């Protein structure tokens, strides 16, 4: 791996189509800008058209020679995912890079998606699973093999897949649900790599995490915390991320490495190299043992196909 890697070391991406979810701000925007700076045609996928328009304006100012567009996508809705893929198929015959980045973190009260999934599990994991499944024909249509980058988190290290209560209907705590969703994301990346090799799909599945990147994910789609404990937890998280974390631009580097670098290996996992992987330069990230459990992965895969009504095997 190249020391102190940055996006200027990535190959040129002219002629390639990249889809980045959650791209109107934070890590997603920084990732989209990095890909666009190397010549990729970038599709910003997000829920809010007004934010999409503002992000496009910023992108075009940052990369005046680049090509970008916004398309509406709500990962908390299986119908929105199906509509997005249908609309995208009318615009392009292939997708070369898919970055599954969008997510929510630590919703104080249990919420559900339109399909009645717990909000974090539905948005962070089941949505990307369904999106990747529906995009597989476009991903397999590229000449050089598409890259699918799934953004995990340090939270995956202490995550557990609770098959007896996946939707947290019996017991909900904000960060237990978040940790489950991010471990599931990591399992998605690893199992997709295995499935691609087994079936001969020209797909390169790689995972990355941003360390402690100071973005607005902690308040995304979440009501203002009402209890004193919740407010203190949010305040402590903000202070910790400010003191020991890094910017969205630096947090996006492992994601961009996974999406573009020739050195990034299939089934790999990348993050920062600093203390606790919270900040620093791009390196191999620590893999939680649970993410490598083949029986767990296969069980989660089958459950995910059933819940989303999509097939990714």
178 has catalytic annotation: yes
For the chain, helix, strand, coil in percent to 5 are 50, 15, 40
Q: SS3 of 28, please?
A: helix
Pairing of strands 203-208, 282-284: unpaired
Q: Which residues pair with 148 in a beta bridge?
A: 98, 205
Is the distance from CB of 128 to CB of 116 less than 8 angstroms?
A: no
Contact 124, 151 (CB under 8 A): no
DSSP 8-state assignment for residue 118: B
Q: Is-contact 300 161, C-beta < 8 A?
A: yes
Our measurement of the distance from residue 42's CA atom to the centroid of its chain's CA atoms, rounded to an integer in Å, reads 15
Give the three-class secondary structure for 141. Answer: coil
Could you count the other beta carbons within 10 Å of the beta carbon of residue 273? 18
Which is catalytic among the residues 29, 125, 178, 269? Answer: 178
Beta strand pairing call for 146-151 and 97-100: parallel
| Sequence-ordered list of residues with C-beta below 8 angstroms from that of 206, at least 6 positions apart, any chain | 147, 148, 149, 150, 189, 193, 258, 259, 264, 265, 266, 267, 268, 269, 270
DSSP per-residue letters across 211-260: SSB--SGGGTT-PPP-SHHHHHHHHHHHHHHHHH-B-HHHHTHHHHHHHH
Within 8 A by CB and 6+ apart from 293, the residues are none
The catalytic residue positions are: 178
């Amino acid at each position: 791996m190249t020391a102190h890697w940055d996006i200027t070391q990535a190959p040129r991406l002219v002629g390639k189509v990249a889809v980045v979810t959650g791209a109107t701000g934070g890590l997603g925007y920084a990732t989209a800008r990095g890909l666009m700076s190397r010549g990729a045609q970038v599709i910003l996928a997000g829920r809010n058209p007004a934010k999409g328009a503002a992000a496009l304006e910023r992108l075009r100012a940052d990369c005046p020679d680049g090509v970008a567009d916004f398309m509406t996508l709500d990962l908390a809705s299986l119908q929105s995912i199906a509509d997005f893929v249908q609309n995208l198929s009318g615009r392009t015959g292939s997708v070369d890079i898919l970055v599954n980045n969008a997510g929510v973190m630590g919703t104080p009260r249990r919420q559900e998606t339109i399909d009645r999934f717990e909000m974090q599990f539905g948005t962070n994991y089941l949505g990307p699973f369904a999106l990747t499944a529906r995009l597989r024909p476009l991903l397999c249509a590229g000449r050089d093999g598409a890259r699918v980058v799934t953004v995990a988190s340090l939270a995956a290290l202490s995550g557990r897949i609770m098959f007896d209560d996946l939707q947290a209907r019996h017991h909900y705590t904000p960060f237990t649900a978040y940790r489950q969703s991010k471990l599931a994301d990591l399992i998605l990346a690893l199992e997709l790599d295995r499935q691609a090799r087994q079936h001969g799909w020209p797909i390169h599945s790689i995972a990355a995490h941003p360390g402690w990147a100071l973005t607005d994910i902690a308040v995304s789609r979440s009501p203002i915390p009402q209890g004193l404990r919740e407010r203190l937890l949010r305040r402590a998280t903000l202070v910790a991320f400010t003191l020991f974390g890094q910017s969205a631009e630096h947090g996006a580097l492992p994601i961009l490495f996974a999406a573009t670098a020739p050195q990034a290996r299939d089934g790999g996992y990348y993050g920062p190299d600093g203390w606790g992987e919270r900040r620093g330069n791009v390196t191999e990230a620590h893999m939680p043992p649970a993410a490598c459990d083949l029986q767990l992965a296969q069980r989660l895969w089958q459950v995910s196909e059933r819940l989303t009504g999509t097939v990714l095997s």
